A = this chain, B = another copy of it.
Amino acid sequence: MSISVAVSGASGYAGGEVLRLLGNHPGVTIGAITAHSSAGSRLGEVQPHLHSLSDHILEETSAENLAGHDVVFLALPHGASADIAAQLPEKTLVIDAGADHRLEDPAAWERFYGPGHAGTWPYGLPELPGRREALRGARRVAVPGCYPTSALLALTPGFTAGLLEPHDVVIVSASGASGAGKSLKPHLLGSEMIGGMSPYGVGGGHRHTPEIEQGLGWAAGNPVTVSFTPTLAPMSRGILTTATARAVPGTSASQLREAWEHAYDDEPFVTLLPEGQWPATKSVVGSNMVLLQLAFDEHAGRVIVSCAIDNLTKGTAGGAVQSMNIALGLDETAGLTGAGVAP
């Protein structure tokens, strides 16, 4: 018996990636595909890479059109999910790729997104301690942001093991252009992006900071303070995160390696590379893999973890599909691959 799935926001990059992955999923049937300004178009016009779905007609995004499916993926602008979700039956599995239901602290949400925190849903990053269990049987899931996915998987083992200082985490991430979405802004033009890098949203102002602090706080058991700087790199997909934290005094390099080495032993999609090999974003393009490497800069007293993911796959749509699989009791890896499209 196939599971029926509806996908909203299908003209954007996140929605397109959800559809690409579902197209390879053995257990689902794609039903309604919805969009806003592109409603009425053939999907092939806006997502020409999704060949087998190209003749689907995009419907208007509405609770009415999305209802009647076993699963609904919401890939909508921040703030737009809560209304729709409220109109969908409780038994429907609703997976929100937006920010609306990620944060536990209403004040943190409101600082970056304005009034009206919509509540908190189980967090779709099953590799964090305790999170997989919360997803089993869930009917509402908040998919983590792409930057937090990379940052949390990079540093959680060290905090869980009590080897990292909770204050003064410093994270610098480079993201591909698709992380900024399909919005028509001058600095996102190919002419501007090809061959150059630039920072943006610097100085604590990035709205992903509270989500990173929340997740690291879960691992540390205490509040964690993060300085986070995102940069924009001339690539379509991929995030390379450099996450550093001070080691607790007296920590040795081997203690640190050990903490990371076994943290993800049973995880199908997270791996610590052999020593000396560093993660490149190209290794994970189109895949759900998370590649990590670790170094202890004893001179500076800092642990440096590099983490590569595909922002659209593990960072968004892959994490969403993985969460669906867990929530419904399917094989967690269905529709997902660990092999990147490289070079």
Binding site for B on A (CB under 8 A): 13, 16, 20, 23-24, 42, 44-45, 47-52, 168, 170, 172, 174, 176-178, 180, 182, 184-200, 202-205, 209, 225-227, 229, 231, 233-238, 240, 242, 244, 246, 271, 273-274, 277-287, 289, 291, 293, 295-302, 304, 306, 308, 337-343
B277 near A174: Cβ-Cβ < 8 Å: no
B174 near A52: Cβ-Cβ < 8 Å: no
Q: How far is the CA of A168 from the CA of B246 in the complex (A)?
A: 9
B281 near A197: Cβ-Cβ < 8 Å: yes
Q: How far is the CA of A244 from the CA of B234 in the complex (A)?
A: 23
From the candidates B44, B196, B209, B284, name the one contacting A285 in the complex (CB within 8 A). Answer: B196
B199 near A242: Cβ-Cβ < 8 Å: yes
A-B pairs, top 5 by smallest CB distance, nearest first, are A203-B295, A190-B193, A196-B282, A204-B297, A49-B340
Min distance, Cβ A33 to any Cβ of chain B, angstroms: 14
B176 near A174: Cβ-Cβ < 8 Å: no
Q: How far is the CA of A238 from the CA of B190 in the complex (A)?
A: 13
B199 near A240: Cβ-Cβ < 8 Å: yes
B233 near A278: Cβ-Cβ < 8 Å: no
A186 near B182: Cβ-Cβ < 8 Å: yes
